[in-house]
Each structure stands twice: as structure tokens, then as C-alpha cells.
Amino acid sequence: MKSLERANRETASVAFGAVAVACLLQHAWHLQPCTMCILQRYAFLLIGVMALCRTQASGAVATALRAATNVLALVGVAASLKIQWAISVPSSSCGRDAVAAFLNGLPWAKAVPALFKATGVCGDYVPPVLHLQFHVWSLLFFALILLVTLYAGHQMKNGVSAARPA
């Protein structure tokens, strides 16, 4: 019971931490986030919120939150792979497309552009962090979140509750 609650809190910490580090380095290194980077931020933030909600949820609500987290983690993995594709195949488009226009048209992109506005292109050079590119770190974090959430679902099926006792 406590281990699932702890896993949810750690998942939220990883998700929120990933966004915090990305924003910090974006400003420190004067980087321009691409469309897929912003999509990953949304996924991380929503995963973090859902992980915190799961600390108090049980039953069908916890199952729905886990399923949504898994979908968001897969979206994050796909965005990471799209960035790798754009780096590997420079002619591919990423950043000046309909997805960027949609994301930049959202109200929170206008309210907090430093966090949510896509201004770069996926193929732009980004210095590595500890020898790995940002999108590779994101891929690893999304994969970790997916594995932890799948494990938590397995634990729930075996009768372990993620919520606190009433």
C-alpha cells in the first residue's frame, strides 16, 4: 500500500523534475523548444498530476488514471522518437507545422510562453546533458514511468491498494 503511494509520488517528482530541468536549461542555454519538446512537457505535467491524484484514488478511478498515464507515456515516447527522426533525417518537418500552430494557439501557451510555446525546430542542436540528448533523457523517463505504472497496475490486480486506508 505505502509502496504504491511512494511510487506515485516519485513518478510525480520525476515528471515535474523533467519539466523543471528542461525549462532551466532552456533559459540558461538560450534554447528554443520544438513542438515535440512542448508536447513532452504537457505529457510530463499531466503524468505528474495524475500520479499525485493516484495517491488518493482507488478502484476504477485509479485504473483510469493509470491507463491515461500509460497513454501519455507512450505519447512522450513517440515524441522522443519523432525528434530522433528529425535529427537523423534533416529534411523531415518538425516545428513549423500544424501541431506547432495548434500548441501555440492554446491559451496557456499565450499565458506562459516560456513554458508552453514551441519556437524551435526538432533538428536544432542541443548540447547533451551527461552525454545524452534531451530527447533521449525524456525517452528514458517516459519508459521508466510506463514500467512503474504497469507494475503498479499489476500490484493492484493482486489486491494491493494504492490509496490510504480510510
Domains identified in the chain, total number: 1
Residue 154: what pLDDT? Answer: 76
Dist. CA 75–CA 61, nearest whole Å: 21
pLDDT for 49-97, tens place per residue? 999 998 888 888 988 999 999 999 999 999 999 888 888 877 656 667 7
- Residue 123 belongs to domain spanning: 2-157
166 assigned to some structural domain: no
Residue 21 maps to a domain: yes
According to DSSP, residue 29 is labeled T
CATH number at residue 11: 1.20.1550
Let me know: does 146 contact 74? Beta carbons within 8 Å.
Answer: yes
Question: What pLDDT, on a 0 to 100 scale, did the predictor assign at position 166?
Answer: 36
Whether 9 is covered by a domain: the verdict is yes
pLDDT at 42 (0 to 100): 95
Please tell me the predicted confidence (pLDDT) of residue 165.
42
On whether residue 95 sits in a domain, the answer given is: yes
| Residue 165 resides in a domain | no
pLDDT of residue 86: 82
Helix (H) or strand (E) holding 141: helix 134-157
pLDDT at residue 160, rounded to an integer: 54
Q: Is residue 16 part of a domain?
A: yes
* DSSP-assigned states of every residue in 82-108: HHHHHHHSTTS--SSSHHHHHHHHSHH
163 in any annotated domain: no
Torsion of CA 140, 141, 142, 144, to 10 degrees: 90
Residue stretches of the chain with pLDDT short of 50: 162-166
Q: Is residue 83 part of a domain?
A: yes
Q: What local confidence, expressed as pLDDT, does residue 92 receive?
A: 59
